[in-house]
Amino acid sequence: MIPTAKFITFTILRFSRLQPVAPAPTFLGHSPPPPRSRCHHSRQAVQQITETEMPWDLIKLNDGTSIPSIAFGTWTLGGGAQATDYVEQAISVGFSHIDTAQAYRNEEEAGKAIRESGLAREDLYITTKFSGRDGLDIETSIKNSLKYLGVDYVDLYLIHHPRLATPDIPTAWAKMEKLKQDGLVKSIGVSNFGVPELQILLASAKVKPAANQILLHPYVHAQQNPIIEFGNAHGIVSEAYSVLIPLTHQPGGAVDKPVNDIASRLKVKPEQVLLAWAKSKGVVVVTFVQFSRRTRRRANKLTAECTGRARRRSGSRDTWLRAILV
């Protein structure tokens, strides 16, 4: 359901009491980055950036592992050198979670950036997905993905869509469980699964899916929220992709005014407001963003300050953006 004007105005008034906090980061569009040399950060330097300048908490998964709550997604990057450059830049500013997939056709480029980062394998969290590329099965696909990425295991492996769970969800999921048992993947999950598909999976699963990556932004929140709630009830963490769609692909809608007003008041970018909204839902955010070095540390005060004030007023961590949640 699209937010009503009355509800938007109400939340803007609540937001107007907050004080400006930080300049915004620079958000990348779809054009390639300017030419730059390869990043060769030391392990110590990049760890410091990750720990002090990207304060997105780890989220505990149902298998006992933890996942960084923000990921750099490679969906829109394509292949070639520019994909490697983007992933290198993401790692250099503190992203420790890289999200890719067979279907994106840039696992090899992501793997190159990971190797050139100089980081130890355990310092990065890697998600990839079984997308049924070239008609290959799950077992062959994971081996190819590991080869392209240049690693011995991935942290999270997802079935990219229910239609790829062939011949049926229980059979496909049993294959995923075997990959986990064999140590090729640390955690297993799904993507784009609705409640009915999750119910089918859980009915036969020996290992619960750790995560379900779904489309999430304000215009689809009402229809997607039952999936998030079902996941919460069964210990399945939701991951959100395409959070910025209202700004990047559907401008001019009802979300624009409250988001822009909030961004103006707090002196941040509209994209930052939507990322903060998604974070307030308790999901892992998969996005395409780069923070400028000058503003990284100060910009990250936004979520902490705004969320803290809203909690004190209402006891809810997301009331301060409630206008664009319904």
Active site residue 104: yes
C-alpha–C-alpha distance, residues 31 and 85, integer Å: 12
| Phi and psi, residue 248, nearest 5° | -90, -30
| Phi and psi, residue 244, nearest 5° | -90, 5
Residue 157 structure tokens:
């492996």
Give which of 122, 204, 124, 131 is closest to 162, Cα–Cα: 131
Active-site residue among 104, 125, 148, 157? 104
- Cα 9 from chain centre: 29
Give which of 38, 60, 69 is closest to 280, Cα–Cα: 69
CA angle 269, 275, 276 (to 5 degrees): 90
* ω into 226 cis (within 30 of 0): no
Catalytic positions, written as ranges: 104
